[in-house]
Amino acid sequence: MIASENRSAKTRNILLLGGTGEASALAQALAGRDDLAVTLSYAGRVAQPKAQPVAIRIGGFGGVAGLRDYLRAQAIDAVIDATHPFAAQMSANAVAACAEEGVPLVALERPAWQAMPADRWIDVTDLDAAAAHLAQAEPAPRNVFLAIGRLHLHHFARAPQHRYTVRLIDEPGEALPLPQVEAIIARGPFTMEGDAALLAERGIDLIVAKNSGGAGAFAKIAAARSLGLPVIMIARPAIPERAHCESVAQVIAWLDHSAPSGGVPDQRGV
Ligand code: NAP
């Protein structure tokens, strides 16, 4: 068989780093392609991840070294990082491991939300700054909707005067690390109307949110806008330079034009 036949017959192994709606959309879009063998990777934070039309693996790789081993053992030809914009550790590990192994990497990055004139955002740099604001600038008790997930709630223990509402995908297995906290168990997507009703019902007067971008998590921000509520908006963490796309269609175009391994030209903003 001549080399070009070999090459065209090769199925490329794609590692898709997931945990977002965009990763699920990519899995849907790529599932029917017989030139690609896609494996979607979850961290394992959610008890029952969404069913997917591609192979799934669950759990951390074991840092950069573990990811390098995985890329080699599974003969991965390209990595798509479609993790959440706040999953900075995984994204940094992917940049390092792919560079070291010469595996092409592209990130699917949703644009950040931008404040509109009707928004009352208090911009902060990170979770600690959000908690510091609540501790120092808000001495009187407030009803706070803490829309930051489960893992980082402990940061807010330094502002114990507030009553917190958190929304989680799974029942927390253990007591939440805040003195006055109530959990709502629900899985998105949510609607602006539904979130406005929830905020009003619970007498919420302040929201803490990550600037996740995208449509899926925007309902609470739109609801806050409609109710005139302030939002402590946490900026995205820094992630090392990498090629990136802003849509599923752009990632597919990248896959179709990238080399099977290594030697990919600069793809920023494709
Ligand atoms: P992180 O802090 O960047 O990652 C911590 C560690 O978790 C990584 O070093 C890696 O472990 C493992 N990990 C993360 N994403 C993984 C993936 N897709 N597949 C396999 N291992 C993964 O991540 P995080 O902020 O905890 O987010 C965890 C997951 O939840 C991600 O899949 C993300 O897309 C999703 N998510 C996060 C947020 C958020 O606000 N952070 C919101 C919605 C969804 P090893 O070092 O052992 O490889």
Residue 84 Cβ inside 6 Å of ligand 1? The answer reads: yes
Residue 23 Cβ inside 6 Å of ligand 1? The answer reads: no
Domain count, the chain: 2
Same domain, 124 and 230: yes
For residue 219, CA distances in Å to 180, 214, 247 come to 25, 10, 20
Determine, yes or no, domain membership for 267: no
Determine, yes or no, domain membership for 65: yes
Same domain, 136 and 96: no
pLDDT tens digit sequence for 1-30: 333 333 345 799 999 999 999 999 999 999
pLDDT tens digit sequence for 55-106: 999 999 999 999 999 999 999 999 999 999 999 999 999 999 999 999 999 9
Q: For residue 68, how far is the Cα from the chain centroid?
A: 22
DSSP-based three-state secondary structure for 214 = coil
pTM of the model as a whole:
0.90
pLDDT tens digit sequence for 97-124: 999 999 999 999 999 999 999 999 999 9
Same domain, 222 and 245: no
62: domain CATH number is 3.40.50.720
What are the φ and ψ backbone dihedral angles of 229, each rounded to 5 degrees?
A: -90, 145
Residue 62 Cβ inside 6 Å of ligand 1? The answer reads: yes
Residue 168 Cβ inside 6 Å of ligand 1? The answer reads: no
What six digits make up the tokens of 192?
Answer: 């602006």
Ligand 1 mean position, distance from CA 167 (Å)? 18
Determine, yes or no, domain membership for 263: no
CA distance 206 to 164: 10
Same domain, 84 and 143: no
- 2, 26 Cβ separation under 8 angstroms: no
Residue 90 Cβ inside 6 Å of ligand 1? The answer reads: yes
Residue 190 Cβ inside 6 Å of ligand 1? The answer reads: no
Q: For residue 14, how far is the Cα from the chain centroid?
A: 19
Same domain, 230 and 127: yes
> Which helix H or strand E contains 120, and what residues bound it?
strand 120-124
Determine, yes or no, domain membership for 188: yes
Burial class (CB in 10 A: 0-12, 13-18, 19+), 164: buried
Same domain, 187 and 244: no
Domain that holds residue 75: 12-111+238-257
Ligand 1 mean position, distance from CA 43 (Å)? 5
Strands 143-147 and 78-81, sheet pairing: unpaired
Residue 155 Cβ inside 6 Å of ligand 1? The answer reads: no
Determine, yes or no, domain membership for 266: no
Ligand 1 mean position, distance from CA 60 (Å)? 8
Determine, yes or no, domain membership for 161: yes
Residue ID of nearest Cα to ligand 1 atom 10: 60
pLDDT tens digit sequence for 217-252: 999 999 999 999 999 999 999 999 999 999 999 999
Same domain, 229 and 130: yes
Same domain, 227 and 244: no
For the chain, report the end-to-end CA distance as a whole number of angstroms: 35
CA distance 148 to 145: 9
Amino acid found at 178: L
What are the φ and ψ backbone dihedral angles of 216, each rounded to 5 degrees?
A: -55, -40
Same domain, 89 and 180: no
